[in-house]
Amino acid sequence: MKIVEVRGIKIGTGRPKICIPVMEKRTEDIVEMAGQAVMAGADLIEWRADAWERLECGRLPGTLKALRTRIGQVPLLFTIRTSSEGGLKALSAEEYAQLNQTAIQSGVPDLADVEMGREPKAVQSIITAAHEAGVGVVGSYHDFFKTPSVEDMVERLRKACAGGADILKLAVMPENMDDVVRLLDATQKASRIFDRPLITMSMGAMGSISRVWGEYFGSAVTFGQMGQASAPGQFDARELRTVLKILHKQASMAGHALPAREDMESKDKNLDHSVQSPEGYKAPAKKIRHLFLTGFMGTGKTSVARELEKLTGMPVMEMDAELARREGRSIPDIFAAEGEAYFRQIETQLLQDIAREETAMIVSCGGGAVLAEKNPRLMKSCGKVVLLTARPETIYARVGTDEGRPNLKGRKSAKDIEALMAQRAPKYKAAADVVVETDRKDIKAIAREILAVCSE
Protein backbone atom coordinates (compact mmCIF):
# COMPACT_ATOMS: atom_id res chain seq x y z
CA MET A 1 0.00 0.00 0.00
CA LYS A 2 1.12 3.53 -0.74
CA ILE A 3 1.71 5.27 2.60
CA VAL A 4 0.71 8.94 2.91
CA GLU A 5 3.15 10.69 5.25
CA VAL A 6 2.21 14.10 6.62
CA ARG A 7 4.55 15.93 9.03
CA GLY A 8 5.94 12.59 10.22
CA ILE A 9 2.53 10.93 10.63
CA LYS A 10 2.29 7.84 8.40
CA ILE A 11 -1.29 7.18 7.27
CA GLY A 12 -1.81 3.62 6.10
CA THR A 13 0.60 1.89 8.45
CA GLY A 14 0.39 0.81 12.07
CA ARG A 15 -2.66 1.54 14.17
CA PRO A 16 -5.35 3.81 12.73
CA LYS A 17 -4.56 7.49 13.29
CA ILE A 18 -6.88 9.57 15.46
CA CYS A 19 -8.35 12.68 13.85
CA ILE A 20 -10.11 15.18 16.12
CA PRO A 21 -12.59 17.50 14.38
CA VAL A 22 -12.99 21.17 15.33
CA MET A 23 -16.48 22.55 14.64
CA GLU A 24 -16.71 25.83 16.52
CA LYS A 25 -18.51 28.89 15.17
CA ARG A 26 -16.27 31.74 16.34
CA THR A 27 -12.67 32.24 15.21
CA GLU A 28 -11.25 32.45 18.71
CA ASP A 29 -13.10 29.29 19.74
CA ILE A 30 -11.81 27.44 16.67
CA VAL A 31 -8.21 28.23 17.58
CA GLU A 32 -8.77 27.41 21.26
CA MET A 33 -10.45 24.08 20.50
CA ALA A 34 -7.66 23.13 18.10
CA GLY A 35 -5.18 23.72 20.92
CA GLN A 36 -7.21 21.44 23.15
CA ALA A 37 -7.17 18.79 20.40
CA VAL A 38 -3.37 18.93 20.43
CA MET A 39 -3.35 18.39 24.18
CA ALA A 40 -5.77 15.46 23.76
CA GLY A 41 -3.20 13.70 21.59
CA ALA A 42 -4.62 14.15 18.09
CA ASP A 43 -2.60 12.57 15.28
CA LEU A 44 -4.53 14.82 12.88
CA ILE A 45 -6.82 17.80 13.39
CA GLU A 46 -9.73 18.40 11.04
CA TRP A 47 -11.05 21.93 10.75
CA ARG A 48 -14.69 21.66 9.68
CA ALA A 49 -14.81 25.15 8.22
CA ASP A 50 -18.48 24.81 7.29
CA ALA A 51 -19.30 25.38 10.97
CA TRP A 52 -17.43 28.72 10.98
CA GLU A 53 -19.76 31.71 11.11
CA ARG A 54 -17.38 33.84 8.99
CA LEU A 55 -16.58 31.43 6.16
CA GLU A 56 -15.39 33.56 3.25
CA CYS A 57 -12.29 33.63 1.09
CA GLY A 58 -10.91 36.88 2.46
CA ARG A 59 -10.86 35.61 6.04
CA LEU A 60 -9.62 32.06 5.44
CA PRO A 61 -5.83 32.63 5.24
CA GLY A 62 -5.65 34.57 8.50
CA THR A 63 -7.62 31.99 10.46
CA LEU A 64 -5.65 29.12 8.96
CA LYS A 65 -2.37 30.77 9.93
CA ALA A 66 -3.67 31.29 13.48
CA LEU A 67 -4.54 27.60 13.56
CA ARG A 68 -1.09 26.59 12.41
CA THR A 69 0.53 28.75 15.08
CA ARG A 70 -1.64 27.10 17.73
CA ILE A 71 -1.24 23.45 16.64
CA GLY A 72 2.43 23.52 15.66
CA GLN A 73 3.44 20.46 13.63
CA VAL A 74 0.21 18.48 14.02
CA PRO A 75 -1.16 17.75 10.51
CA LEU A 76 -4.23 19.77 9.53
CA LEU A 77 -7.09 18.45 7.39
CA PHE A 78 -9.21 21.23 5.86
CA THR A 79 -12.86 20.30 5.28
CA ILE A 80 -15.94 22.12 4.06
CA ARG A 81 -18.79 19.65 4.43
CA THR A 82 -21.67 20.95 2.32
CA SER A 83 -25.34 20.44 3.12
CA SER A 84 -25.71 17.93 0.28
CA GLU A 85 -23.47 15.56 2.28
CA GLY A 86 -24.69 16.36 5.77
CA GLY A 87 -22.70 19.55 6.37
CA LEU A 88 -23.68 23.04 7.48
CA LYS A 89 -23.17 25.12 4.32
CA ALA A 90 -25.13 25.16 1.08
CA LEU A 91 -22.61 26.22 -1.57
CA SER A 92 -22.56 26.38 -5.34
CA ALA A 93 -19.86 24.44 -7.17
CA GLU A 94 -17.98 27.68 -7.82
CA GLU A 95 -18.13 28.80 -4.18
CA TYR A 96 -17.03 25.37 -2.97
CA ALA A 97 -14.08 25.28 -5.37
CA GLN A 98 -13.00 28.85 -4.63
CA LEU A 99 -13.04 28.40 -0.85
CA ASN A 100 -11.06 25.17 -1.04
CA GLN A 101 -8.51 26.66 -3.45
CA THR A 102 -8.07 29.70 -1.20
CA ALA A 103 -7.39 27.45 1.79
CA ILE A 104 -4.94 25.31 -0.19
CA GLN A 105 -3.08 28.36 -1.53
CA SER A 106 -2.62 29.70 2.01
CA GLY A 107 0.04 27.03 2.45
CA VAL A 108 -1.38 25.89 5.80
CA PRO A 109 -3.45 22.70 5.30
CA ASP A 110 -1.62 19.41 4.84
CA LEU A 111 -4.71 17.61 3.57
CA ALA A 112 -7.95 18.78 1.92
CA ASP A 113 -11.23 16.88 2.00
CA VAL A 114 -12.91 16.92 -1.43
CA GLU A 115 -16.50 15.72 -1.91
CA MET A 116 -16.12 13.51 -4.96
CA GLY A 117 -19.83 13.58 -5.74
CA ARG A 118 -19.83 17.28 -6.60
CA GLU A 119 -19.56 18.71 -10.09
CA PRO A 120 -16.58 17.07 -11.87
CA LYS A 121 -15.07 20.37 -13.04
CA ALA A 122 -15.06 21.82 -9.50
CA VAL A 123 -13.68 18.60 -8.03
CA GLN A 124 -10.86 18.40 -10.54
CA SER A 125 -9.90 22.04 -10.07
CA ILE A 126 -9.51 21.51 -6.31
CA ILE A 127 -7.52 18.29 -6.71
CA THR A 128 -5.21 19.93 -9.26
CA ALA A 129 -4.65 22.94 -6.98
CA ALA A 130 -3.96 20.66 -4.02
CA HIS A 131 -1.42 18.52 -5.80
CA GLU A 132 0.34 21.55 -7.26
CA ALA A 133 0.66 22.91 -3.72
CA GLY A 134 1.83 19.60 -2.26
CA VAL A 135 -1.43 19.10 -0.33
CA GLY A 136 -2.87 15.59 -0.04
CA VAL A 137 -6.46 14.94 -1.09
CA VAL A 138 -9.00 12.98 0.94
CA GLY A 139 -11.64 12.01 -1.63
CA SER A 140 -14.87 11.56 0.32
CA TYR A 141 -18.37 10.22 -0.13
CA HIS A 142 -21.07 10.45 2.56
CA ASP A 143 -24.46 8.71 2.57
CA PHE A 144 -26.39 9.78 5.66
CA PHE A 145 -29.60 7.97 4.69
CA LYS A 146 -28.49 4.39 4.12
CA THR A 147 -25.71 1.86 3.64
CA PRO A 148 -25.35 0.95 -0.06
CA SER A 149 -24.43 -2.51 -1.31
CA VAL A 150 -20.83 -3.70 -0.99
CA GLU A 151 -20.44 -3.32 -4.75
CA ASP A 152 -21.71 0.26 -4.70
CA MET A 153 -19.42 1.24 -1.80
CA VAL A 154 -16.36 -0.24 -3.49
CA GLU A 155 -17.34 1.55 -6.70
CA ARG A 156 -17.49 4.90 -4.91
CA LEU A 157 -14.01 4.33 -3.53
CA ARG A 158 -12.83 3.34 -7.01
CA LYS A 159 -14.13 6.63 -8.43
CA ALA A 160 -12.30 8.58 -5.72
CA CYS A 161 -9.12 6.68 -6.56
CA ALA A 162 -9.54 7.25 -10.30
CA GLY A 163 -10.25 10.93 -9.64
CA GLY A 164 -6.83 11.43 -8.08
CA ALA A 165 -7.55 11.23 -4.34
CA ASP A 166 -4.59 10.23 -2.18
CA ILE A 167 -6.80 8.89 0.64
CA LEU A 168 -10.23 7.35 -0.02
CA LYS A 169 -13.03 8.11 2.45
CA LEU A 170 -16.53 6.64 2.79
CA ALA A 171 -19.08 7.25 5.58
CA VAL A 172 -22.51 5.61 5.57
CA MET A 173 -25.55 5.39 7.86
CA PRO A 174 -26.68 1.97 9.12
CA GLU A 175 -30.24 0.86 9.82
CA ASN A 176 -29.17 -2.42 11.43
CA MET A 177 -26.05 -4.42 12.27
CA ASP A 178 -26.14 -6.11 8.86
CA ASP A 179 -25.38 -2.68 7.40
CA VAL A 180 -22.38 -2.28 9.71
CA VAL A 181 -21.03 -5.68 8.69
CA ARG A 182 -21.53 -4.74 5.04
CA LEU A 183 -19.44 -1.58 5.50
CA LEU A 184 -16.65 -3.60 7.11
CA ASP A 185 -16.83 -6.14 4.27
CA ALA A 186 -16.57 -3.36 1.67
CA THR A 187 -13.60 -1.88 3.56
CA GLN A 188 -11.74 -5.18 3.56
CA LYS A 189 -12.41 -5.77 -0.13
CA ALA A 190 -11.33 -2.22 -1.04
CA SER A 191 -8.14 -2.55 1.00
CA ARG A 192 -7.14 -5.45 -1.23
CA ILE A 193 -7.96 -3.59 -4.44
CA PHE A 194 -6.65 -0.05 -4.00
CA ASP A 195 -3.07 1.01 -3.38
CA ARG A 196 -3.85 3.92 -1.06
CA PRO A 197 -5.15 4.41 2.49
CA LEU A 198 -8.85 4.17 3.30
CA ILE A 199 -11.00 5.97 5.85
CA THR A 200 -14.34 4.25 6.32
CA MET A 201 -17.00 4.37 9.00
CA SER A 202 -20.52 3.36 9.78
CA MET A 203 -22.03 6.41 11.48
CA GLY A 204 -24.09 6.68 14.65
CA ALA A 205 -23.99 4.61 17.83
CA MET A 206 -24.85 1.42 15.96
CA GLY A 207 -21.79 1.80 13.76
CA SER A 208 -19.37 2.71 16.53
CA ILE A 209 -17.61 -0.65 16.28
CA SER A 210 -16.38 0.33 12.81
CA ARG A 211 -14.43 3.21 14.38
CA VAL A 212 -12.19 0.92 16.43
CA TRP A 213 -11.88 -2.17 14.21
CA GLY A 214 -10.43 -0.30 11.25
CA GLU A 215 -7.02 -1.95 11.49
CA TYR A 216 -8.56 -5.40 11.11
CA PHE A 217 -10.43 -4.42 7.95
CA GLY A 218 -8.22 -1.75 6.38
CA SER A 219 -9.36 1.70 7.57
CA ALA A 220 -6.37 3.92 8.40
CA VAL A 221 -7.97 6.87 10.26
CA THR A 222 -10.73 7.15 12.85
CA PHE A 223 -12.43 10.21 14.34
CA GLY A 224 -12.40 10.86 18.09
CA GLN A 225 -13.71 13.61 20.36
CA MET A 226 -12.26 15.48 23.32
CA GLY A 227 -13.95 14.56 26.61
CA GLN A 228 -17.04 12.42 26.24
CA ALA A 229 -18.47 11.96 22.76
CA SER A 230 -20.33 14.91 21.31
CA ALA A 231 -22.18 12.65 18.88
CA PRO A 232 -23.38 9.05 18.85
CA GLY A 233 -20.70 6.65 17.64
CA GLN A 234 -17.65 8.75 18.47
CA PHE A 235 -15.28 7.99 21.32
CA ASP A 236 -13.24 10.13 23.67
CA ALA A 237 -9.87 10.60 21.94
CA ARG A 238 -7.76 9.47 24.89
CA GLU A 239 -9.89 6.38 25.49
CA LEU A 240 -9.84 5.70 21.76
CA ARG A 241 -6.04 5.78 21.76
CA THR A 242 -5.95 3.17 24.55
CA VAL A 243 -8.39 0.89 22.74
CA LEU A 244 -6.55 1.21 19.43
CA LYS A 245 -3.24 0.47 21.08
CA ILE A 246 -4.62 -2.77 22.56
CA LEU A 247 -6.24 -3.79 19.28
CA HIS A 248 -3.05 -2.93 17.36
CA LYS A 249 -1.10 -5.32 19.57
CA GLN A 250 -3.64 -8.08 19.02
CA ALA A 251 -3.87 -7.36 15.29
CA SER A 252 -0.10 -7.59 14.98
CA MET A 253 -0.07 -10.93 16.76
CA ALA A 254 -2.88 -12.22 14.53
CA GLY A 255 -1.30 -10.87 11.34
CA HIS A 256 -4.06 -8.33 10.67
CA ALA A 257 -2.06 -5.16 11.30
CA LEU A 258 -1.80 -2.57 8.56
CA PRO A 259 1.54 -2.90 6.69
CA ALA A 260 4.68 -1.93 8.60
CA ARG A 261 4.71 -0.88 12.20
CA GLU A 262 5.46 2.31 14.05
CA ASP A 263 6.94 2.95 17.46
CA MET A 264 3.72 3.25 19.44
CA GLU A 265 5.44 3.82 22.76
CA SER A 266 7.46 6.86 21.69
CA LYS A 267 4.37 8.35 20.05
CA ASP A 268 2.20 7.88 23.12
CA LYS A 269 4.80 9.36 25.44
CA ASN A 270 4.68 12.64 23.52
CA LEU A 271 1.02 13.31 22.94
CA ASP A 272 1.51 17.02 22.31
CA HIS A 273 3.79 16.44 19.28
CA SER A 274 6.44 18.68 20.89
CA VAL A 275 4.12 21.70 20.75
CA GLN A 276 4.47 23.88 23.83
CA SER A 277 1.28 24.93 25.58
CA PRO A 278 0.82 28.59 26.44
CA GLU A 279 1.85 29.41 29.98
CA GLY A 280 -0.93 28.60 32.40
CA TYR A 281 -3.02 26.82 29.76
CA LYS A 282 -5.39 24.17 31.07
CA ALA A 283 -7.87 22.15 29.03
CA PRO A 284 -11.34 22.92 30.36
CA ALA A 285 -13.36 20.27 32.11
CA LYS A 286 -16.18 20.59 29.56
CA LYS A 287 -17.77 17.23 28.83
CA ILE A 288 -20.17 16.90 25.96
CA ARG A 289 -22.77 14.24 26.64
CA HIS A 290 -26.27 15.23 25.68
CA LEU A 291 -28.18 16.15 22.53
CA PHE A 292 -30.63 19.01 23.13
CA LEU A 293 -33.53 19.45 20.69
CA THR A 294 -34.85 23.01 20.77
CA GLY A 295 -37.37 24.93 18.72
CA PHE A 296 -40.83 26.42 18.72
CA MET A 297 -43.74 24.23 19.79
CA GLY A 298 -44.88 21.93 17.01
CA THR A 299 -41.51 21.61 15.25
CA GLY A 300 -41.42 17.89 16.06
CA LYS A 301 -39.03 17.73 19.01
CA THR A 302 -40.83 14.89 20.78
CA SER A 303 -41.24 12.71 17.68
CA VAL A 304 -37.66 13.32 16.53
CA ALA A 305 -36.34 12.54 20.01
CA ARG A 306 -38.11 9.17 19.98
CA GLU A 307 -36.70 8.33 16.55
CA LEU A 308 -33.20 9.29 17.71
CA GLU A 309 -33.69 7.01 20.70
CA LYS A 310 -34.37 4.10 18.32
CA LEU A 311 -31.28 4.88 16.25
CA THR A 312 -28.82 5.52 19.08
CA GLY A 313 -30.13 3.71 22.15
CA MET A 314 -29.78 6.96 24.15
CA PRO A 315 -32.66 7.59 26.62
CA VAL A 316 -35.01 10.54 26.09
CA MET A 317 -35.77 13.27 28.62
CA GLU A 318 -38.96 15.26 27.90
CA MET A 319 -38.39 18.45 29.87
CA ASP A 320 -42.04 19.50 30.09
CA ALA A 321 -43.12 16.01 31.15
CA GLU A 322 -40.37 15.88 33.78
CA LEU A 323 -41.34 19.30 35.14
CA ALA A 324 -44.98 18.25 35.34
CA ARG A 325 -43.94 15.08 37.20
CA ARG A 326 -41.79 17.03 39.68
CA GLU A 327 -44.49 19.63 40.32
CA GLY A 328 -47.33 17.10 40.45
CA ARG A 329 -49.47 19.21 38.10
CA SER A 330 -49.81 19.96 34.39
CA ILE A 331 -47.89 22.69 32.57
CA PRO A 332 -51.05 24.82 32.06
CA ASP A 333 -51.77 24.52 35.80
CA ILE A 334 -48.22 25.64 36.67
CA PHE A 335 -48.58 28.69 34.40
CA ALA A 336 -52.02 29.52 35.80
CA ALA A 337 -51.01 29.23 39.44
CA GLU A 338 -47.43 30.50 39.43
CA GLY A 339 -46.90 32.44 36.19
CA GLU A 340 -44.30 32.12 33.45
CA ALA A 341 -41.41 33.51 35.55
CA TYR A 342 -41.73 30.66 38.03
CA PHE A 343 -41.92 28.12 35.22
CA ARG A 344 -38.72 29.46 33.64
CA GLN A 345 -37.01 29.21 37.02
CA ILE A 346 -37.80 25.51 37.49
CA GLU A 347 -36.90 24.93 33.83
CA THR A 348 -33.40 26.28 34.55
CA GLN A 349 -33.14 24.13 37.67
CA LEU A 350 -33.92 21.05 35.58
CA LEU A 351 -31.24 21.98 33.04
CA GLN A 352 -28.75 22.31 35.87
CA ASP A 353 -29.64 18.77 36.96
CA ILE A 354 -29.26 17.51 33.37
CA ALA A 355 -25.83 19.15 33.11
CA ARG A 356 -24.71 17.13 36.14
CA GLU A 357 -26.09 13.88 34.71
CA GLU A 358 -23.32 11.60 33.41
CA THR A 359 -25.58 9.32 31.34
CA ALA A 360 -25.80 10.66 27.79
CA MET A 361 -29.36 11.44 26.78
CA ILE A 362 -31.53 13.11 24.17
CA VAL A 363 -33.30 16.09 25.73
CA SER A 364 -36.52 17.35 24.16
CA CYS A 365 -36.71 20.94 25.40
CA GLY A 366 -39.78 23.03 25.97
CA GLY A 367 -40.47 25.71 23.38
CA GLY A 368 -39.19 28.49 25.66
CA ALA A 369 -36.20 26.68 27.16
CA VAL A 370 -33.68 28.97 25.45
CA LEU A 371 -35.29 32.21 26.65
CA ALA A 372 -33.52 32.47 30.02
CA GLU A 373 -30.00 33.79 29.42
CA LYS A 374 -28.20 31.06 31.36
CA ASN A 375 -30.06 28.12 29.78
CA PRO A 376 -28.17 28.01 26.45
CA ARG A 377 -24.89 28.17 28.38
CA LEU A 378 -25.97 25.20 30.49
CA MET A 379 -26.86 23.20 27.38
CA LYS A 380 -23.62 24.00 25.58
CA SER A 381 -21.58 23.11 28.66
CA CYS A 382 -22.61 19.48 28.37
CA GLY A 383 -23.99 18.85 24.89
CA LYS A 384 -24.92 19.84 21.37
CA VAL A 385 -27.91 22.11 20.74
CA VAL A 386 -29.99 21.26 17.66
CA LEU A 387 -32.61 23.79 16.55
CA LEU A 388 -35.61 22.32 14.70
CA THR A 389 -37.46 24.83 12.52
CA ALA A 390 -40.75 24.91 10.58
CA ARG A 391 -42.90 27.49 8.83
CA PRO A 392 -45.72 29.11 10.88
CA GLU A 393 -48.30 27.46 8.62
CA THR A 394 -46.79 24.05 9.34
CA ILE A 395 -46.80 24.67 13.08
CA TYR A 396 -50.39 25.93 13.04
CA ALA A 397 -51.44 22.80 11.16
CA ARG A 398 -49.72 20.64 13.77
CA VAL A 399 -50.80 22.32 17.01
CA GLY A 400 -53.68 24.64 16.05
CA THR A 401 -54.98 26.31 19.18
CA ASP A 402 -54.03 23.47 21.54
CA GLU A 403 -55.31 24.48 24.97
CA GLY A 404 -52.53 22.43 26.58
CA ARG A 405 -50.00 25.02 25.35
CA PRO A 406 -50.19 28.14 27.55
CA ASN A 407 -48.37 30.41 25.11
CA LEU A 408 -50.99 29.76 22.41
CA LYS A 409 -53.75 31.42 24.42
CA GLY A 410 -55.29 34.20 22.34
CA ARG A 411 -53.34 33.17 19.22
CA LYS A 412 -55.76 31.74 16.73
CA SER A 413 -53.97 31.92 13.36
CA ALA A 414 -50.69 31.20 11.61
CA LYS A 415 -49.96 34.96 11.66
CA ASP A 416 -50.30 35.02 15.44
CA ILE A 417 -47.88 32.11 15.70
CA GLU A 418 -45.50 33.83 13.26
CA ALA A 419 -45.44 36.92 15.49
CA LEU A 420 -44.49 34.87 18.56
CA MET A 421 -41.87 32.97 16.56
CA ALA A 422 -40.31 36.24 15.43
CA GLN A 423 -39.91 37.32 19.06
CA ARG A 424 -38.04 34.12 19.93
CA ALA A 425 -36.06 33.59 16.71
CA PRO A 426 -32.90 35.51 17.73
CA LYS A 427 -32.53 33.48 20.93
CA TYR A 428 -33.21 30.19 19.17
CA LYS A 429 -30.54 30.90 16.56
CA ALA A 430 -28.00 32.22 19.07
CA ALA A 431 -28.30 29.04 21.14
CA ALA A 432 -28.07 26.57 18.25
CA ASP A 433 -25.02 24.56 17.22
CA VAL A 434 -26.97 22.98 14.36
CA VAL A 435 -30.17 24.06 12.55
CA VAL A 436 -32.41 21.45 10.88
CA GLU A 437 -35.52 22.32 8.89
CA THR A 438 -38.48 19.96 9.40
CA ASP A 439 -40.93 21.13 6.72
CA ARG A 440 -41.97 18.39 4.26
CA LYS A 441 -39.63 15.82 5.88
CA ASP A 442 -40.57 12.63 7.65
CA ILE A 443 -39.35 11.99 11.19
CA LYS A 444 -36.86 9.29 10.21
CA ALA A 445 -35.19 11.58 7.65
CA ILE A 446 -34.92 14.40 10.20
CA ALA A 447 -33.35 12.12 12.80
CA ARG A 448 -30.81 10.78 10.34
CA GLU A 449 -29.95 14.28 9.18
CA ILE A 450 -29.22 15.24 12.80
CA LEU A 451 -27.00 12.20 13.27
CA ALA A 452 -25.20 12.89 10.01
CA VAL A 453 -24.38 16.46 11.00
CA CYS A 454 -23.32 15.46 14.51
CA SER A 455 -21.46 12.23 13.75
CA GLU A 456 -18.51 13.63 11.76
The three-state DSSP-derived secondary structure of 70-138 is HHCCCCEEEECCEHHHCCCECCCHHHHHHHHHHHHHCCCCCEEEEECCCCHHHHHHHHHHHHHCCCEEE
Same domain, 205 and 321: no
Does 405 score more than 70 pLDDT?
Answer: no
Rounded CA-CA distance 217/210 in Å is 9
For residue range 168-194, list pLDDT tens digits in order: 999 999 999 999 999 999 999 999 999
Same domain, 300 and 422: yes
Identify the CATH number of the domain in which residue 240 sits: 3.20.20.70
pLDDT at 357: 79
pLDDT at 1: 64
Residue 274 lies in a domain: no
Same domain, 261 and 294: no
Rounded CA-CA distance 443/306 in Å is 9
Does 136 score more than 70 pLDDT?
Answer: yes
Which of 236, 268, 300 terminates a domain? The answer is 268
Does 238 carry a binding-site annotation? no
Total structural domains within the chain: 2
Same domain, 228 and 95: yes
Backbone angles phi, psi at 366, to 5 degrees: -65, 160
Does 298 carry a binding-site annotation? yes
Identify the CATH number of the domain in which residue 343 sits: 3.40.50.300
* DSSP state for residue 67 in the 8-state scheme: H
Name residues whose C-beta falls within 8 Å of residue 29's C-beta, 6 or more positions apart in sequence. Answer: none
Same domain, 17 and 151: yes
**Model-level pTM?**
0.58
Does 15 carry a binding-site annotation? no
pLDDT band at 263 (very low <50, low <70, confident <90, very high): very low
Does 54 carry a binding-site annotation? no
**Residue among 89, 142, 248, 427 flagged as catalytic:** 142
Same domain, 253 and 300: no
Residue 146 lies in a domain: yes
Strand order in the sheet with 362-364: 316-318, 362-364, 290-294, 383-389, 434-437
Rounded CA-CA distance 74/369 in Å is 40
pLDDT at 230: 37
Residue 273 lies in a domain: no
Task: Give percent above pLDDT 70 in the chain.
Answer: 86
pLDDT at 279: 33
CA proximity to 364, closest of 396, 322, 400? 322
Same domain, 175 and 257: yes
Does 448 carry a binding-site annotation? no
Q: Are strands 362-364 and 290-294 parallel, antiparallel or unpaired?
A: parallel
Dmax over Cα atoms in the chain, in whole Å?
Answer: 72
Rounded CA-CA distance 108/196 in Å is 23
**Residue among 2, 25, 146, 169 flagged as catalytic:** 169
For residue range 52-82, list pLDDT tens digits in order: 999 999 999 999 999 999 999 999 999 999 9
Does 267 score more than 70 pLDDT?
Answer: no
The answer to whether 169 is a known catalytic residue is yes
Same domain, 201 and 134: yes
pLDDT at 282: 32
Does 406 score more than 70 pLDDT?
Answer: no
Residue 153 lies in a domain: yes
pLDDT at 251: 67
Contact in structure between 443 and 307 (CB atoms under 8 Å): yes
CA proximity to 332, closest of 421, 407, 423? 407
Does 39 score more than 70 pLDDT?
Answer: yes
Beta strands in 335-382 (DSSP E): 362-364
Rounded CA-CA distance 362/75 in Å is 34
Domain of 329? 290-455
For residue range 323-368, list pLDDT tens digits in order: 988 888 889 999 999 999 999 999 999 999 888 877 788 999 988 8
Same domain, 251 and 317: no
